[in-house]
């Protein structure tokens, strides 16, 4: 009788271990596949989160553009340039300035006023 403890493949000498070895290989393969799928799900969740932030920013910026366009009788592209210039000059994010515009509805932020004045200078 052969000593099973010396076998490297985990199979027993009587042949019953081949099914166990095939099962072990399949479990290992499925474990690797599950790990890869989990990584993909994590990456996709991160992408969805980034896209949601971008969409939320877009909504706030669009609202601010509409308010600026109405307040100063501007076309939307001109309102965007005004918002962008004001954010750049004040070293602020466009979204942060847009949020200020939308929350302070009746008041125009100082950054917008000064950017508008600079645009109208010859």
Could you report the per-residue pLDDT of 100-116, keeping only the tens digit for each? 999 987 888 888 988 88
Asked if residue 36 belongs to a domain, the reply is yes
Residue 112 lies inside a defined structural domain of this protein: yes
Average pLDDT over residues 30-44: 96
Q: Does 6 fall in a domain?
A: no
4 within some domain: no
Q: Is the pLDDT of residue 9 over 50?
A: no
Residue 113 placed within a domain? yes
Q: What is the pLDDT of residue 121?
A: 67
**Which CATH number belongs to the domain containing residue 53 in this structure?**
1.10.10.10
- Split into its structural domains, the chain has a count of 1
Enter the tokens of residue 118.
């600079």
5 domain residue, yes or no = no
For 66-75, letters b (16+ CB in 10 Å) and e give ebbbeeeebe
Give the Cβ contact number of residue 50 at 10 Å: 10
pLDDT tens-digit map of 41-93: 999 999 999 999 999 999 999 999 999 999 999 999 999 999 999 999 999 99
For 1-50, the three-class secondary structure string (H helix, E strand, C coil) is: CCCHHHCCCCCCCCCCHHHHHHHHHHHHHHHHHHHHHHHHHHHHHHHHHH
Give yes or no for residue 3 having a pLDDT over 80.
no
């Amino acid at each position: 009788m052969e000593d099973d403890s010396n076998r490297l493949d985990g199979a027993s000498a009587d042949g019953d271990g081949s099914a166990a070895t095939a099962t072990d290989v399949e479990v290992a393969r499925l474990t690797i596949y599950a790990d890869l799928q989990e990584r993909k799900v994590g990456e996709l969740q991160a992408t969805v989160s980034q896209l949601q932030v971008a969409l939320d920013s877009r909504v706030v910026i669009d609202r601010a553009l509409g308010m600026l366009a109405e307040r100063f009788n501007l076309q939307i592209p001109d309102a965007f340039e005004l918002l962008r210039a004001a954010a750049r000059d004040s070293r602020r994010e466009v979204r942060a300035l847009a949020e200020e515009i939308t929350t302070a509805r009746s008041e125009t932020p100082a950054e917008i006023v000064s950017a508008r004045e600079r645009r109208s200078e010859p």
